[in-house]
Amino acid sequence: MSRYEFVSAAKLPTRFGEFTIHGFVDVTTNQEHVALTFGKWQREDTVPIRIHSECLTGDSLFSTRCDCGFQLEKALQNITENKVGVLLYLRQEGRGIGLLNKIRAYALQDTGMDTVEANEHLGFDADLREYDICQFMLGHLGVQNVSLMTNNPKKIAALTEMGINVVSRKPIDHGMTADNKGYLKTKTEKLGHEFDPHLFK
């Protein structure tokens, strides 16, 4: 029996365009995840996708401490402008440590720690996210070849290991603010994210 299940799909009108939202569940943890799809494709087509981990503060509360909300909006814009694409929205807040622990990490960052130091001070690895469900979600959606919108090489490696063909990477440098410039610099230097170095000058 598969660890993952598809639950249902429905239309989802948004200010970017009309998507279809697909619900999935990890039956071992009861964690729920969704995919937004736009347009149609054949299995052999290369489909633009974004893997986006939940960030309540950035995605819903408009925080400028991170670039998550900005990247989410940019990804949805890119998908509708291309007239095709998929956004996988994974419920793993705070790089996997959860919302309340993320707030604790923010408090430590307010004292001078960076995002990696704060997570490690709380007893967590710098990044606890997992991408295993992506294989099931993309398989259900009939996607095998992808153009991945990301600055994170770990996502490319994870998909490749699953047998997903990452045809190309599209940078998603978007949303630098005075509040998150240090955060993005830490992601580049300590987590291997690939941002344009000119952004930090």
CATH of the domain at 167: 3.40.50.10990
Q: What is the pLDDT of residues 84-101, one digit of tens each?
A: 999 999 999 999 999 999
Q: Does residue 69 have a known ligand-binding role?
A: no
Which residues are catalytically annotated? 127, 129
Q: Does residue 60 have a known ligand-binding role?
A: no
- Looking at 89-103, 135-149, 151-165, 171-185, which range is the least confident one? 171-185
Q: What is the pLDDT of residues 30-78, one digit of tens each?
A: 999 999 999 999 999 999 999 999 999 999 999 999 999 999 999 999 9
Q: Does residue 53 have a known ligand-binding role?
A: yes
DSSP codes, the chain? --SEEEEEEEEEE-SS-EEEEEEEEETTTTEEEEEEEES---TTSEEEEEEEE--IIIIIS--SSSSHHHHHHHHHHHHHHHT-EEEEEE--GGGGT-HHHHHHHHHHHHTT--HHHHHHHTT--S-----HHHHHHHHHHT--EEEEE-S-HHHHHHHHHHT-EEEEEE-------TTTHHHHHHHHHHH-----GGGG-
- Does residue 57 fall inside a structural domain? yes
pLDDT of residue 90: 97
Q: Does residue 193 have a known ligand-binding role?
A: no
When divided into structural domains, the chain yields a total of: 1
Q: Model pTM?
A: 0.93
Q: Does residue 150 have a known ligand-binding role?
A: yes
Q: Does residue 134 have a known ligand-binding role?
A: no
pLDDT of residue 191: 83
Q: What is the pLDDT of residues 21-35, one digit of tens each?
A: 999 999 999 999 999
- Does residue 11 fall inside a structural domain? yes
Domain extent, residue 68, equals 4-92+129-193
Query: Mean pLDDT in the chain?
Result: 93
Question: Binning pLDDT at 50, 70 and 90, where does residue 198 land?
Answer: low
- Does residue 108 fall inside a structural domain? no
- Does residue 119 fall inside a structural domain? no
